[in-house]
């Protein structure tokens, strides 16, 4: 269960554009790393600096974020880091037909609505959360004020990187990502310090794509790809009507901070 929560939390963080380092899985021992992954010791200091800057640029403008991975998990939405607002829909086909999590974030106010099988557990109304009450390692602690795109965490977690053209390849030590709690890190396993990744930047030096291999965490997860596009797109996020909003029951406090 902890492993599944870790995978879900990493995917959710990625989907909301919180930095590529938070999405990385580990590579199975004895299994070849993805094509193009940096070999041990192949570190380019200049490339590492450029990649960190590319991730940081995601905090400068509005952006559309799309994520796909194995097991039928997809998400799409928009975010405005400067205004502190985001809107996202995550579809979880593996949890049953029609299972979705809709997320709206306006500053410290976060609203979640579950459909499909999850609605039977979480309820069908919008659930209001105070984002400031969520722990840093929570699966739902999205777009933190001090590091909205995860750029700082990325700088700490990338241990090897090389560049060819507009593409960066390397490995991430996910244990260095401060966004994950200790239980999640244990669930990821010992190989979580050698996670291959591939990233691309555009002509403006912005991170536009990040691909990692999730199969070591969950056999059906496959490859996770997150894209960032439509920079400057208009983002308008509204609070749900008050009659459709409820506060989370105390019994869910542990899950929300898992």
Give the tens place of pLDDT for each residue, 14-24.
Answer: 554 443 333 33
Q: Which residues contact 227 (CB under 8 A, 6 or more apart)?
A: 65, 66, 67, 208, 209
Round to whole Å and give the CA distance between 112 and 240. 10
212 in Cβ contact with 194 (< 8 Å): no
- The residue ranking higher by pLDDT, 202 or 176, is 202
156 lies in which domain range?
Answer: 2-256
Of 12-21, 25-34, 127-136, 200-209, give the range with the top mean pLDDT.
200-209
Q: What is the pLDDT of residue 175?
A: 74
Report the pLDDT averaged over residues 71-91: 88
Distances (CA, A) of 170 to 92, 132, 165: 29, 33, 14
Q: Hey, which residues does 243 pair with through a beta bridge?
A: none
Residue 128 burial (CB count, 10 A): 17
Tokens at residue 1, please?
Answer: 């269960």
* pLDDT-derived band at 71, boundaries 50, 70, 90: confident
Q: Considering the chain, what percentage of its residues have pLDDT values greater than 90?
A: 25
- Mean pLDDT to the nearest integer, 150-176: 81
What CATH number has the domain bearing residue 79?
Answer: 2.50.20.20
pLDDT, one tens digit per residue, over 111-124 is 999 888 778 777 88
- Rounded Cα distance between 209 and 55, Å, is 10
pTM for the model: 0.80
The mean of the pLDDT values for the chain is: 75
- Per the structure, the count of domains in the chain is 1
Give the model's pLDDT for residue 21: 34
- Comparing 29 with 10, the larger pLDDT belongs to 10
Most confident of 47-56, 74-83, 165-174, 237-246: 237-246
Residue recorded with tokens 């991730």: 55
Looking at per-residue pLDDT, the higher value among 154 and 65 belongs to: 65
pLDDT greater than 70 at residue 219: no
Mean pLDDT computed over 181-197: 68
Q: What whole-number distance in Å separates Cα of residue 21 and Cα of residue 59?
A: 15
> Concatenated DSSP letters for the chain?
-HHHHHHHHHHHHHHTT--GGGG--PPPTTSPPPTTPPPTT---HHHHHHHHHHHHGGGSS-EEEEEEEGGGEEEEEEEETTTTEEEEEEEEGGG-TT-EEEEEEETTEEEEEEEGGGHHHH-SSEEEEEGGGS-TT-TT--S-TT-TT-HHHHHHHEEEEEEETTEEEEEE-GGG-TTS-HHHHHHH-GGGGSEEEEEEE-TTS-EEEEEEE-TTT-TTT-EEEEEEE-TT------PPPGGGEEPPPGGGHHHHT-
Distance CA 193, CA 187 (A): 13
């Amino acid at each position: 269960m902890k492993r599944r929560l870790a995978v879900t939390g990493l995917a959710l963080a990625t989907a909301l554009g919180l930095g590529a380092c938070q999405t990385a899985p580990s590579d199975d021992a004895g299994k070849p790393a993805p094509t193009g992954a940096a070999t041990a010791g192949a570190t380019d200091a200049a490339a590492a600096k450029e990649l960190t800057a590319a991730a940081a640029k995601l905090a400068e403008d509005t952006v559309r974020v799309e994520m796909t991975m194995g097991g039928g998990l997809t998400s799409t939405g928009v975010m405005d880091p400067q205004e502190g607002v985001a809107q996202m829909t995550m579809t979880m086909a593996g949890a049953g037909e029609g299972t979705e999590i809709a997320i709206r974030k306006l500053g410290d106010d976060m609203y979640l609505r579950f459909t499909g099988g999850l609605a039977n557990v979480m309820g069908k109304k919008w659930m209001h959360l105070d984002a400031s009450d969520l722990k840093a390692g929570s699966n739902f602690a999205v777009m933190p004020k001090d590091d909205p795109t995860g750029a700082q965490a990325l700088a700490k977690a990338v241990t090897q990187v090389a560049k060819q053209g507009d593409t960066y390849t390397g490995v991430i030590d996910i244990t260095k990502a401060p966004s994950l709690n200790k239980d999640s890190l244990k669930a990821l396993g010992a190989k979580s310090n050698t996670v291959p990744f591939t990233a691309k930047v555009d002509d403006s030096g912005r991170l536009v794509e990040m691909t990692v291999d999730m199969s070591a965490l969950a056999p059906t997860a496959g490859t996770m790809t997150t894209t960032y596009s439509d920079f400057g797109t208009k983002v308008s996020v509204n609070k749900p009507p008050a009659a459709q909003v409820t506060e989370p029951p105390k019994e869910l406090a542990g899950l929300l901070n898992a």
